[in-house]
Structure 1
Amino acid sequence: MPSSTQLVNQDASWRQRSELESMADLPPALEKELQRLDAEFWVSSDKLKKIVSRFRGELERGLKEEGKSIPMNVSWVHSLPSGDEKGKILTVDLGGTNLRVCTVELHGSEPAKGEKYTLTQEEFKLPKDLKTSTAEKLWTHIAGKIGTFLSDQGLDKEYSKDKPMPLGFTFSYPATQDKIDHAVLQRWTKGFDIEGVEGHDAAAQLREQLEARDLPVKLICVINDTVGAMVASAYNDPETIIGTIFGTGCNAAYMAKIESIHKLDKANEQVKHNDSGHMAINCEYGAFDNGHHVLPRTKYDERIDKESPRPGQQTFEKMSAGLYLGEIFRLVLLELVEKGLIFQNQNAEKLKHPYSIDTKLLTQIEDDESPKFKKTRNMFEDTLNLQPEDYEIELSRRLAELIAVRGARLCACGVAAICSLEDIKKGHVAADGSVANKHPKFKKRWATALGEILDWDDEAKKEGKGPIIITSAEDGSGVGCAIIAAMELERRRKDKS
C-alpha cells in the first residue's frame, strides 16, 4: 500500500499533467482509484522513445519480408500528385460503418469556382449483420449500392460498357497488392469477420459482381484510405509528407525510397519504369507490438483484445483507435460500479453492454463547457440511463482525459518511427479520421508527444510550432482515390504511347 505522502505526491503529479480544472472533490477511495488509473494510463517521454525504437524495427522488418506483423504493403502509387490531375472518377469506400459512393471531378490547375475538385456523394449505412456475413453478400450489397448511385445521378446514361466510367475502390483493410487494381485481403479489422474474403483478391470479387449487374464502370485502382489521405492532401499542399488515419482504426502511409523496400522485386517492370525512386507504402501499423514487447497494456486493454473477434491481432489499434477508446472508458466505469464507488443505488445495466459507449461521448465530455456540465449529464442519461452526481461528473472528465491523452501520445509514436526511418525533419502530416479532427485536444497532445520523442524545444512542442506539423487531411477515401485513379490512367496512357 502506498503511504499517505506517496499518495499526495501522486496526486500532485496528476494535477500537474491534467488540463482540467477540478469541479468537485472526489471521495478518498475514488481519488485513490483515479491515481491508480493515472499511473496505468500515463505514457512518459522515456517510454514513448522505447516504443518508437521498437516501432522502427518492426517497420524495417516489414520492408524486408512479407508476412510480418506490420506488413508495410506496397501500394503501386509511384509518386505524389502534381496538382494538375483532371478527370471524372467514380469512387466507392468500404468503411467500418458506412459505404460511401462518390463522383469526383478533378479540375487540376484550372479550379472551378476556386475549388480543385467537385464532389457528389451518397452514404449507405452498412447493415450490422453484413460485417459477419459472406463474401457473396458483401460484394452483392456493394455492387447494388453502386448501381443505385449510378442510376440516381444519371451516370448509367452518360457511360456505357464501351465507354465505362473509371472506378476507384477504397478498401481500408490490410491487403497485398501485386498491382494497383488487385488486393488480396490479409485479415479483416474494425470488427469485420466476413467469410470467404481473406486470402482472396477483393478487387476480383467486386469486379465479378459489377459485371454480373452489367454496370458501365471499370475498376482502375484499389487503395487504402491512408494512402488516399496523403495523395489528396498533397494535391493541395505540396509539403505533405505522411498521411495518417486516427479514427475507427489507426494507420499511416508515406513515400518510401525504393531502395529501402528490400522485399520489392527490382526487376519488376512497374519498378523499373518508376521515375520517382519512391513508392507509397501503406504501413497497416495497427498491428504493431502484437508480440506484447513494449506497449504498456492495462487489464482493460487485455480484456478488449480477449473479447474481440480477432484476439492477439491489432494490438496497437486496440489501445489507441477510436473504435476502442469508448470501450476502455466503459470497462473502467463498470469496474468502479462493481466496487461500489460510483452510481450507487442506480440501475447500471446499460453499462454492462459492450461498446455501449463510443469515443464520441468521450470527445463531448472533454468539450463540454455548458453550465454545471449539463450536456454531459444529459449524455449519461440518454446513453446509460444514469444520473451522475457532481463527483461522478468529475471522475468521468478525468477518466476521459486519461484515456484520450494516452491515445494521442501513442498515435505520435507511429509517425515518429516513420520520420526516424526516412530521416524526415520537416513537413506536414495529413491526419484524417474522427479522433484527429473531432476531438478538441487531440492535435495539441499529439504534437506535444511528437516533440518529446524527437527532442524539440518547448516552443516547438506546441501545436503548429514544430518542424513537423499535423494538418487536417483532405478526403482520402473519395478525392484521394479519384486522384490516384487519374494518375494511373495517365501512367497507362504514357506506357501505350
Structure 2
Amino acid sequence: MSAVTDKIKEICQELILSDEKITQVRDLMNQEINKGLGRETNPQAKIKCFPTYVRQLPNGKEMGKFLALDLGGTNFRVLLIELAGGIAHSNMVSKIFAVPNDIMVGPGEELFDHIAHCLSVFMHEHGVQNEKIPLGFTFSFPCRQEGLTKGVLVTWTKGFSCSNVEGKDVVKMLNEAIRRRGDVEIDVLAVLNDTTGTLMSCAYKNPECRIGLIIGTGTNACYVEKLDKVGTWDGDFNEPQQVVINLEWGAFGDDGCLDFIFTEYDRDVDKNSINVGKQVFEKMISGMYMGELAGLALRRLCREGLIFNGKGSERFNERGSFHTKYISEIEGEKNGEVANCQAILDELDITGYTDEDCRHVRYVCELVSRRAASLVCAGLACLLNRIKEKHAVVAVDGSVYRYHPAFHNLMTAGISKLIDPGLAFDLMLSEDGSGRELP
C-alpha cells in the first residue's frame, strides 16, 4: 500500500463507524423514542414521535376512487387511484409537477395556490373536475397531527422556507387555496407523512408491514406502536390498540447526543445549511447532503496534494458541485473499472487525474454511503427490537435506497447484526411511492 493511500485512510478514518459506535447510536435512538412517546418528556425530545391517528393498515380489499397529493421536495406528485379490491384490479395515473424555487421560499399562500392550480390541471386532464373525490395529502415535513385531517407544520426542511406556514394547519391552507379557485371539489380525507404513506402502500400488498422508511432527499421513519406505550395519545383505546407513530427521526442528535460521531465534514455541511443545528441525523444520511459530504472530503484530499496532483478546478471547488448521484454512479461500476468516475471528473473540469485517483474517489464515496447505511440500520434495528415481531416487513422508498447499487445489501447485513436474536425482517420497495396511502 502506498504512502498516499495510507495518508488518505488516516484522514478519512473519522468517517468509519465501529460496531460499538453503531450499537451506541441504536441504543441512543431507543432512549430518544421513549422520551418522545412520554407525555412529560416529549417537550425535551428531539425525536417527536407524533401519533398519526392511523390505527389500521390496509388489507388489500379496499375499493373506490381517490386522489393523492404527495408534496415533499422540489417536485410533487398528483395521483388518481381506482381500487376494485386487490392489486390486480387497481388502476393508477399520476403526474409530476415542479415547485419553482421562488415558491419554495416565498409566501405560504402562494405555495398552496400553486398546488391547488396543479390539482385543478390534473383533474381537468382526466375528466374528473366535476366529481367530488376524497384526497389523501402526503405532506413530507415535520408535522404535529391533531387528527386525520389536521396537521400543523412544526418546521420546514429540505430547502423550503415559505413564510406564514410554520405553526399552521396545512390541510386548512390547502382547502382555502382550493376554495379560492372554486373550479374543483376536493374532500381532504387524511394528511399523512410520506413514511406513513409508504408503510400503507406496502401494507396494501403485504400484511406483515410494520415500519415505513424514507431515504431520499431527506430521511424519516414510522412504525406501529402499542397504545399503552404512547403517553401522548389523546384518543380512545378501542381496538385496534395501536397507532402509527411518525418519528421525525431526522432531528435525532439535534441535542448533541451524536456529537461523538460528528466529523469535520458534518460540521461544515451543518454550518452552511439553512437550518443550522437542526436535522443532524438527516444531514449524515440523506441524498440532500451525501454528495456534499463526499465532496468536502475529496476537496481536503486535493488541497493536501493526495489526489489530482493537488489541482482541482474552479467547478470542483464550488459548494454542492459533487452530487449525490455521482456516488451511486461511481459505486455502480465493478471494482477496478473507472469509466463512470472519469466522466464525472471530466464534468467537474478536473484534468490530469489517474486511475489511482479514481480508486481514491470511490473509496471516499463508499465511506460516506456505508456510514449512511449503518446509521439507517441502527435506527431500523431499534424499531424492530421495539416491535418484537418474529417477522416484520420494512416498507422503503426514496432515491438513495432506489438508486444506490449497494444500499439494500448494506442495510440487510447491517440490520441483521443489530437486531435481537429470534427476530427476522425483510425490506420491501414501495413500487408506487407514497401515493397509495388512501386505502
Query: What band does the TM-score fall into relative to the shorter chain?
Result: over 0.9
User: Structure 1 vs Structure 2: percent identity of aligned residues?
Assistant: 33
Q: What's the offset of the Cα at 1:433? A: 0.8
The residue correspondences of 1:48-447 to structure 2 (distance < 5 A) are 48-65=22-39, 66-67=42-43, 68-109=45-86, 111=87, 115-157=88-130, 159=131, 164-214=132-182, 215-265=184-234, 268=235, 271-272=236-237, 274-294=238-258, 296-344=261-309, 346=311, 348-369=313-334, 372-382=337-347, 384-387=348-351, 388-447=353-412
Aligned residues of 2:373 and 2:410 also touching (Cα < 8 A): yes
Aligned residues of 2:338 and 2:355 also touching (Cα < 8 A): no
Contiguous gaps of at least 5 residues in structure 2? none
Q: Which moved more, 1:168-177 or 1:366-375?
A: 366-375
Partner AA of 1:468 in structure 2 = F
> Structure 1's 395 and 370: CA in aligned 2 closer, same or farther, altered over 3 A?
closer
Aligned residues of 2:316 and 2:350 also touching (Cα < 8 A): no
Q: Please give the alpha-carbon distance, in whole angstroms, between the structure 2 residues aligned to 1:370 and 1:468.
A: 29
The alignment partner of 2:342 has SS state of helix
Aligned residues of 1:83 and 1:108 also touching (Cα < 8 A): yes
The alignment partner of 2:426 has SS state of strand
Q: Please give the alpha-carbon distance, in whole angstroms, between the structure 1 residues aligned to 2:30 and 2:89.
A: 36
The alignment partner of 2:284 has SS state of helix
1:470 is matched with which residue? 427
Query: Alignment RMSD, CA only?
Result: 1.9
Larger radius of gyration: 1
Aligned residues of 2:291 and 2:327 also touching (Cα < 8 A): yes
The alignment partner of 2:401 has SS state of helix
Aligned residues of 2:75 and 2:98 also touching (Cα < 8 A): yes
Q: Which moved more, 1:294-303 or 1:222-231?
A: 294-303
Contiguous gaps of at least 5 residues in structure 1? 1-24, 458-465, 484-497
Count of aligned pairs between the two proteins: 433
Aligned residues of 2:253 and 2:280 also touching (Cα < 8 A): yes
The structure richer in helix per residue is 1
Aligned residues of 2:30 and 2:382 also touching (Cα < 8 A): yes
Q: What's the offset of the Cα at 1:225? A: 0.8
> Structure 1's 46 and 100: CA in aligned 2 closer, same or farther, altered over 3 A?
same
The normalised TM-score by structure 2 is 0.94
Q: What's the offset of the Cα at 1:476? A: 4.0
The alignment partner of 1:445 has SS state of helix
The normalised TM-score by structure 1 is 0.83
Aligned residues of 1:88 and 1:105 also touching (Cα < 8 A): yes
Q: Please give the alpha-carbon distance, in whole angstroms, between the structure 1 residues aligned to 2:152 and 2:356.
A: 51
The alignment partner of 2:36 has SS state of helix
Partner AA of 1:301 in structure 2 = D
